Amino acid sequence: MRHSHGRHRRARTLSIAAAVSVAAGAGGVHLGLAHDDARAAAAAVTVTVSDTASLESAVAHAVAGTTIQVRGGTYRPAHTLRSTANGTASARITLTAYGDEKVRIDGSGLAAGSWLAGIHGDYWTVSGLTFQNSPAQGFVATSSTGGIFENLVTADNGDTGFTLRGDGTTDNLVANLDSHGNDDAAGHGRNADGIAVKFGSGTGNRITGARLYGNADDGLDLWQFSSPVTVEHSWAFGNGRDHRHDPASEGRGNGFELGGGGATAAHAVDSNAASDNALHGFTGDSNTGAIRLDRNTAYANGESGFSFAAGTARLARNLAVDNGADRAELGPSTVSTANSWDSGVSAPAFRSTTPTTVYGARRADGSLPATTFLTTGSTTIGATMR
């Protein structure tokens, strides 16, 4: 048994059975709720799991200060991995792959309509895991504060791959997410996005380094989320394409859908790229807020590169090339400055329009792969593609 020693707190490494015993003896307190932060910080527990039953139990019994390390392999839970536990800023709850081992959590055995994983709690770190083949959503965090969700894959699920939702969704970071192939066949593709931040509110949420492709609906969807979200250095390709050849397909296929459903929010959208999506590259839908878009690139999307007919969006230094309809569809209250469609601005040439490298392996630190796709060398217009 390996023991690790923190500088300011005692840390213990336990088997899953011992960890459950510790949690179960907490004086009648509901398992998964940490009411005594000092006690939790003084007794942080690291649990290493290598089978599905142990994983299910570890998640269900996590408390503030728990670290769950998952050994490499494929895990097929019989029920949704679910927790209502709260960590704290000083005693987070961590669910992570063991070292660099490859962990796949597979929902192919779940009942119809079941999420694969759902967290309703604060200060979680979830990293290095793949959530795949769920009959519904892959991973859902509800009303979470201070979450860190990094280096995750959500793939081939029956609804949206990764979701933040609910009021009180505050100060969450989603970094280096790959979300692809998510498709709600029963809904004819109308709901399955790569990532969704929707049906809620809360400030300080940031998405960075995401790669969102081949999803039935949108790459990113901020539907009915009424607080600003920052979206940066992310790519959305080939969304809304009907790979099932469904004659009743309802997938919209925007790269970045930045609102809708009546919510008003001034999202910040910087240095992202949208290509080969069925509808628009970037759209505000019905969001009338002052969305800010700076240095984004839209290439070869089915309709407009940028569609902001409603509201007071502010667009600057964006690049739109070879989209199916207008380069930009803008309303009378939209402010457009130094974009490729503005007077006196010329669009620089792309170094490459072959996307092969954007689907390659990420760099060692989890960041997006090196590519020349849609790069121009310009320091003043368009996405940096890194």
Task: Give me the pLDDT at residue 33, please.
Answer: 37
Over the chain, what HEC string results? CCCCECCCCEEEEECHHHHHHHHHCCCCCCCCCCCCHHHHHHEEEEEEECCHHHHHHHHHCCCCCEEEEECCEEECCCCCEEECCCCCCCCCEEEEECCCCCEEEECCCCCCCCCCEEECCCCEEEECEEEECCCCCCEEEECCECCEEECCEEECCCCCCEEEEEECCECCEEECCEEECCCCHHHCCCCCCCEEEEEEECCCEEEECCEEECCCCCCEECCCECCCEEEECCEEECCCCCCCCCCCCCCCCCCEECCECCECCCCEEECCEEECCCCCCEECCCCCCCCEEECCEEECCCCCCEEECCCCCEEECCEEECCCCCCEEECCCCEEECCCCCCCCCCCCCCECCCHHHHCCCCCCCCCCCCCECCCCCCCCCCCCC
Q: Cα-flanking dihedrals φ and ψ of residue 52, to 5°? A: -65, -45
Task: Give me the pLDDT at residue 241, please.
Answer: 79
Task: Give me the pLDDT at residue 45, please.
Answer: 95
Contact 89, 60 (CB under 8 A): no
Contact 356, 374 (CB under 8 A): no
Task: Give me the pLDDT at residue 334, please.
Answer: 98
Tokens 């055995």 locate to 109
Task: Give me the pLDDT at residue 243, please.
Answer: 65
Task: Give me the pLDDT at residue 255, please.
Answer: 98
Task: Give me the pLDDT at residue 294, please.
Answer: 99
**Domain spans in the chain, listed from the N-terminal domain onward:** 1-102, 137-346
Q: How far apart are CA 180 and CA 101, in angstroms?
A: 21
Nearest one of 178, 162, 122, 114 to 146, comparing CA atoms: 122
Contact 183, 192 (CB under 8 A): yes
Query: Along the chain (386 residues), what's the average pLDDT of each consecutive run of 10 residues?
Result: 38 43 34 42 82 98 98 98 98 98 98 98 99 98 99 98 99 99 80 96 99 97 98 98 66 91 97 98 96 99 96 97 93 97 96 97 97 97 97
Exposure b/e, 124-147, CB count within 10 A at least 16 = b:
bbbbbbbbbbbbbbbbbbbbbbbb
- For domain 137-346, which CATH number applies: 1.10.730.10, 1.20.120.1200, 2.160.10.10, 2.160.20.10? 2.160.20.10
